[in-house]
A = this chain, B = another copy of it.
């Protein structure tokens, strides 16, 4: 399987991305990667590759890149040779089965629509995230491809989320729910209650409204919301867990007894923090476009990029795009 990897995207640039490329090639013997970006920067970073990986790594050279603070649509329209746009062009042409970028989120969404193209019948693509929760994962979408949405968009998100949960995350009968400000019938605004009416009449296993605290308690497998709410929840979750971890570290530094205690607890605490460290679970699929387009967090280090490549590979292997096209196209 050939995947395009935007080597210039993200806060850490080519070094972490090339490190990830090497790790991913070791993990998956069927994986070929097209690293898109500055050859002079990428080449030295691939020198350490064992021969078994080296032959599966190629560089697609370009000097142009999209920066994190550029206007998304303008950048994707004008920078036709940017590493991100070229990665997406290869998905459109079929040279690559999918692509991964840790670059400008808005530009990834714009490129998904303008370069890769929407699946016919899909009004708006959505980004989804598999959030680690109490016992499993909850797939939350949209987390930022949109700002506000119409009921029909949320209806389509519900279907796409259902497919992702079932086929990619392996949930047998996903419970699909709408995020609202209360579980009672009278809650929500017109958009949410409109979406409820639409989803209720569909074939989905719909459980109505859930509230914010139902997410960490895994009370639904798929939680649907507009891009604004999803983005706020996801970033808040990331921030809260990082803040708690850093407080814990600081407190530990000041006290002796807890330090002794931590020696005993380290493995467990590490598990727990890793589980809820949302940033580390890299790989946010842009659902509803004609190809596997996976966004990695801008702050991604190599392991998160590897995780995004894993998500891309899985999505391609499970024919994610075709499944969405069959159900909603």
Q: Is A215 an interface residue (CB 8 A)?
A: yes
With A181-B228, A232-B229, A255-B268 already in contact, the answer to whether A133 and B243 are too (CB < 8 A) is: yes
Assembly stoichiometry (copies)? 2
Whether A244 contacts B147 by the Cβ 8 Å rule is no
Q: Is A326 an interface residue (CB 8 A)?
A: no
Whether B239 contacts A215 by the Cβ 8 Å rule is yes
Whether B265 contacts A239 by the Cβ 8 Å rule is no
- State the interface size on chain A (CB cutoff 8 A): 59
Whether A237 contacts B240 by the Cβ 8 Å rule is yes
Q: Is A238 an interface residue (CB 8 A)?
A: yes
Q: What residue of chain B has the Cβ atom nearest to residue A275's Cβ?
A: B247
Tell me, rounded to whole Å, the shortest Cβ–Cβ distance linking A149 to chain B: 10
Per-residue B-contact encoding for A158-191, CB less than 8 Å = 1, 0 else: 0000000000000000000001011010111100
Whether B264 contacts A181 by the Cβ 8 Å rule is no
Question: 19 A-B pairs, CB-CB below 8 angstroms?
Answer: A71-B186, A211-B232, A212-B234, A212-B236, A212-B238, A212-B239, A215-B239, A216-B240, A216-B243, A217-B239, A229-B229, A240-B240, A244-B272, A244-B276, A257-B264, A260-B264, A261-B263, A262-B265, A264-B264
A residues within 8 Å of B by Cβ? 69, 71, 133-134, 144, 147-148, 179, 181-182, 184, 186-189, 211-217, 225, 227-229, 231-244, 246-248, 251-252, 255, 257-258, 260-265, 267-268, 271-272, 276
